Structure 1
Amino acid sequence: MKTIPGKHTEDLDLHALRVLDVLFRERSITRAADALHTQQPALSKTLARLRVYFNDPLFVRVALHMEPTAKALELEKPVRALLDGFQRLRSEQSRFDASRSTREFRVFTLDAGVIVLLPPVIKTLLGSAPDVRLRAAQVGLQNLHTSLESGEIDLAIGEFPLLVPGIKRQKLFSGQHMCIFQKDHPRLGRSPSLAEFLEEQHVFITAAGTGHPHQVAERSLEGQLPAKNIIAHVPSFTTAAILAKNTNAVATMPGPVATVLARELDMRLTKPPVKLPEFEISQYWHERFDRDPGNQWLRSVINAEFGGKPPGRKR
């Protein structure tokens, strides 16, 4: 079936195809403009040009979102194929020189990842790729897949079991939860007993940004602790550590971030005397960018730094 009118071929550019592709995913001019880092009026102008080009409205408003017309649905696969072909062509013809590149990579990771992963990676970049920049990009977890697919996010690092269609994954390390508290705690030593641990006051880290594995561990811990011993719920691991340092409370969190915070805040680090589920940290990227030289280079840097063992362990 012919979907692209030949007499207008010279008017169709790559940017217009990208706008169309993002609109297929987002079903919203506002979200599409955000994904493309452009203004809504500019995107609306491109959509108007596409409508003239194809002689079809392409997207019509239904309730609070936009739905593709029958004509637009015919275009979705051909447009995606053209963009994927261009991406492959660009990847095969380009070479990434990290020492000279000024590229900014956008990496999505949660609170623990920002604390644990970014400092050593940025230190490595300053030595071997001084003009490459890393941005800790924030998107809603519900939009993470589309952000990877569109290239808005280059990599995601963490444990995201729902990232499946079209997403490639490389395991970095497994880990377990640890707890931190004051070094001069009046009752707890290096290896608290179960009874001692349960009798102490605890700080919980409860927020969407802490990740699914921590939420599972925290629910398990909550079921074993007396409710009166949970003195606070805070939104970040750093806040919990500072609160624990300034009280007699215990903060339990993923081992790598606990190791960093215990070192930086001069606190005691120990295994909790309760069984908590392990977690697995991986890096994720979309198959569309699997052969992108820059993406490949960044993945190799992160795997060289963290592949095999949790951060903080001697290799």
Structure 2
Amino acid sequence: MDTIPQRNEEELSLNHLQVLDVLLCERSLTKAARVLNLTQPALSKTLARLRHYFGDPLFIRVSLRMQPTPKALELAEPVRAILERMRALRSDHISFDPRTSDRTFSFFLVDAGATQMLPILLNRLAEEASRIRVRAVNCDAQHLDMWLETGLVDVAIGSFPALTQGIRRLPLWRESYAAVVRKGHPRLQGNPDLASFAAEKHVLVSAIGTGHEHLSAERVIENALPRENIICRVPSFATAALIAMHSDVVATLPLTLARAFCEDLDLRLIDVPLPLPSIEIAQYWHERVHREPGNQWIRSLIRTLFSRPEAPLHTAGTAGRMSGGYSLHEPAAIDAGHSTS
């Protein structure tokens, strides 16, 4: 009688190949460990196994980065193809039921998106899909397209105009800007003129390196204010709001987030007397998961909770923070400039 042969311990698993794939993308043990949710010692042990299996160092440390050897570069496409085939098999043959699934969905979004959206999303999941988990990841924006392609990120949410080839997007809403100051600020009221606004001290939220379209608004603010009045730069909208709460510093934020912080942190909303551009907030995903049932479901839920119909942009004085269920009809997703169904 034939029997199934014992597994050869020298063989590689799909997890080993995923580690190699991520290392090829990130070129850093620290970043790869964060992506894979592994400790660095565990990742180093896996890399040692890969080196032994292929008889090659695979990566050589050059300065602060790990440069792939010719052998590693040669393996990149075959490894990616194997991982892609396994993902296709899983999506084609495994059904998705949100009521019983224990899947973890990974999102890439800046802190403004996390602050606004995750509480609403988690509350809905608790009602409809209590076993599903959510993971917000902070990746190198230069590699975001690779993360979407490889499945390390399921959906990116924000404004990332550089994402094009092989990436689909679905617009959710357009975001304008307002500023926040602490209640009791000694000078600024609701509608300051440019001279009064520019004379104050400001904290500037920097989007450099994130690939986010907020960078265009950052540049306008930076050019309009005296250099000496930008006294602090931070990577987080939440940090900027907390600084404004505890000082007389002004923080300019996306309007939806500014309204939320005014409620939660007892801040006051003021208009920004600058021609700041509005930005389109969208969800992004890779073409290869466009019809994958789980990815379709989470995108549909995000659209139901957060999509807003086009409307004139409101001034800072108008009321209402983000809530769910703005639109029941999904507009066509956009793929490299073309509308798709």
Q: How many residues align?
A: 300
Residue 40 of structure 1, aligned match among 38, 44, 48: 44
**Closer, same or farther in 2 for the Cα pair 1:259/1:20, shift >3 Å?**
same
Counterpart residue type for residue 119 of structure 2: P
Deviations 1:41-80 (A, max 9, x none): 234324533x3xxxx759475855222349x73x655554
Query: Are residues 1:287 and 2:290 paired?
Result: no
Secondary structure class of the residue paired with 1:161? coil
The 5 Å alignment of 1:175-254 reads 175-206=175-206, 208=208, 212-254=212-254
Q: CA deviation at 1:261?
A: 0.8
Q: CA deviation at 1:168?
A: 2.3
**Closer, same or farther in 2 for the Cα pair 1:13/1:114, shift >3 Å?**
closer
Q: Structure 2: which 5+ runs fail to align?
A: 1-7, 311-319, 327-341
Query: Are residues 1:65 and 2:74 paired?
Result: no
Q: CA deviation at 1:278?
A: 1.5
Counterpart residue type for residue 41 of structure 1: K
Q: Distance in 2 between matches of 1:136 and 1:112?
A: 12
Q: CA deviation at 1:232?
A: 3.2
After TM superposition, the structure 1 stretch with the greater mean CA deviation from structure 2, 178-187 or 26-35, is: 26-35
Contact 1:28–1:66 (8 Å) recurs in 2 = no
**Closer, same or farther in 2 for the Cα pair 1:210/1:203, shift >3 Å?**
farther
Q: Distance in 2 between matches of 1:210 and 1:60?
A: 26
Structure 2 partner of 1:260: 260
Q: Structure 1: which 5+ runs fail to align?
A: 1-7
Secondary structure class of the residue paired with 2:213? helix
Q: Distance in 2 between matches of 1:212 and 1:201?
A: 25
Q: CA deviation at 1:264?
A: 0.8
The 5 Å alignment of 1:140-155 reads 140-155=140-155
Secondary structure class of the residue paired with 1:163? coil
Contact 2:161–2:212 (8 Å) recurs in 1 = no
Query: Are residues 1:91 and 2:91 paired?
Result: yes
Q: Distance in 1 between matches of 2:281 and 2:321?
A: 14
Secondary structure class of the residue paired with 1:117? helix
Query: How does the TM-score come out when normalised to structure 1?
Result: 0.79
Q: Distance in 1 between matches of 2:206 and 2:29?
A: 33
**Closer, same or farther in 2 for the Cα pair 1:19/1:242, shift >3 Å?**
closer
Counterpart residue type for residue 131 of structure 2: D
Q: CA deviation at 1:123?
A: 1.2
Q: Distance in 2 between matches of 1:266 and 1:252?
A: 16
Q: Which has the higher helix share?
A: 1
Q: Distance in 1 between matches of 2:25 and 2:247?
A: 48
Structure 1 partner of 2:335: none
Counterpart residue type for residue 198 of structure 1: A
Query: How does the TM-score come out when normalised to structure 2?
Result: 0.74
Counterpart residue type for residue 296 of structure 2: Q
Structure 1 partner of 2:333: none
**Closer, same or farther in 2 for the Cα pair 1:201/1:76, shift >3 Å?**
closer
Q: Distance in 1 between matches of 2:197 and 2:22?
A: 51
Q: Distance in 1 between matches of 2:304 and 2:15?
A: 35
**Closer, same or farther in 2 for the Cα pair 1:84/1:210, shift >3 Å?**
closer
Question: RCO higher in 1 or 2 (8 Å CA, sep ≥ 6)?
Answer: 1
Identity %: 41
Contact 1:112–1:257 (8 Å) recurs in 2 = yes
Contact 1:204–1:234 (8 Å) recurs in 2 = yes
Q: Distance in 2 between matches of 1:99 and 1:281?
A: 28
Structure 1 partner of 2:321: 312
CA RMSD of aligned residues (A): 3.3
Deviations 1:144-200 (A, max 9, x none): 233222222222211222223332222221111111123443333322233332333
Contact 1:179–1:258 (8 Å) recurs in 2 = yes
Counterpart residue type for residue 89 of structure 1: L
Q: CA deviation at 1:211?
A: 5.9
Q: Distance in 1 between matches of 2:209 and 2:27?
A: 26
The 5 Å alignment of 1:128-143 reads 128-143=128-143
